[in-house]
């Protein structure tokens, strides 16, 4: 079975060094979405959190030797499915970003952990679980 995905847009960021995780990132940039998907951005609002699904386009090709990896923040080897490594069987990443604003087909965001030119595959609303909500 073949699965084909086409980018809906690309990341634009003026940084050559990006944080390894959106959880620690304050980096701002833009999601430049293809005009054909403009109406899909309706009701995205400043302050909202969104889940961005993207392609790890700079990652090396995966092989079975990489099923166990040692993340840079640990000395313990772990299975690829228990860590956030960009080197995966399917090079798909996910980040939760804060929307700073929307202008035409560009979504300005904070929390980027993606490089300039990263292909965006999808955007979804972030809906926290009840236990994640403050107070």
The model's pLDDT over 74-106, given as tens digits with 9 standing for 90+, comes to 888 877 777 777 777 788 999 999 999 999 999
Q: Is 2 within a domain?
A: no
CA distances from 60 to 40, 46, 56, 66, 118 (A): 32, 35, 9, 10, 15
Q: Is 3 within a domain?
A: no
Predicted structure pTM score:
0.84
Q: Is 33 within a domain?
A: yes
Q: Is 38 within a domain?
A: yes
- Full residue range of the structural domain in which residue 46 is found: 9-128
16-36 pLDDT, tens digit each: 887 777 878 899 999 999 999
Number of domains in the chain: 1
DSSP E strands: which ranges in the chain? Answer: 9-12, 28-33, 49-55, 68-69, 78-79, 92-103, 106-110, 119-125
Q: Is 1 within a domain?
A: no
CATH number, position 42: 2.40.30.70
């Amino acid at each position: 079975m073949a699965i084909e995905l086409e980018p809906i847009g690309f990341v634009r960021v003026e940084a050559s060094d990006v944080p390894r995780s959106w959880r620690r990132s304050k980096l701002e940039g833009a999601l430049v979405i293809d005009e054909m998907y403009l109406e899909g951005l309706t009701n995205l609002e400043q302050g909202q959190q969104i889940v961005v699904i993207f392609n790890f386009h700079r990652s090396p090709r995966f092989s079975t030797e990489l099923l166990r990896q040692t993340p840079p923040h640990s000395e313990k080897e772990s299975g690829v499915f228990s860590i956030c490594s960009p080197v995966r069987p399917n090079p798909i990443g996910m980040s939760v970003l804060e929307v700073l604003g929307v202008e035409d087909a560009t979504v300005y965001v904070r929390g980027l952990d993606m490089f300039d030119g990263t292909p965006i595959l999808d955007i979804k609303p972030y809906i926290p679980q009840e236990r994640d909500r403050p107070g």
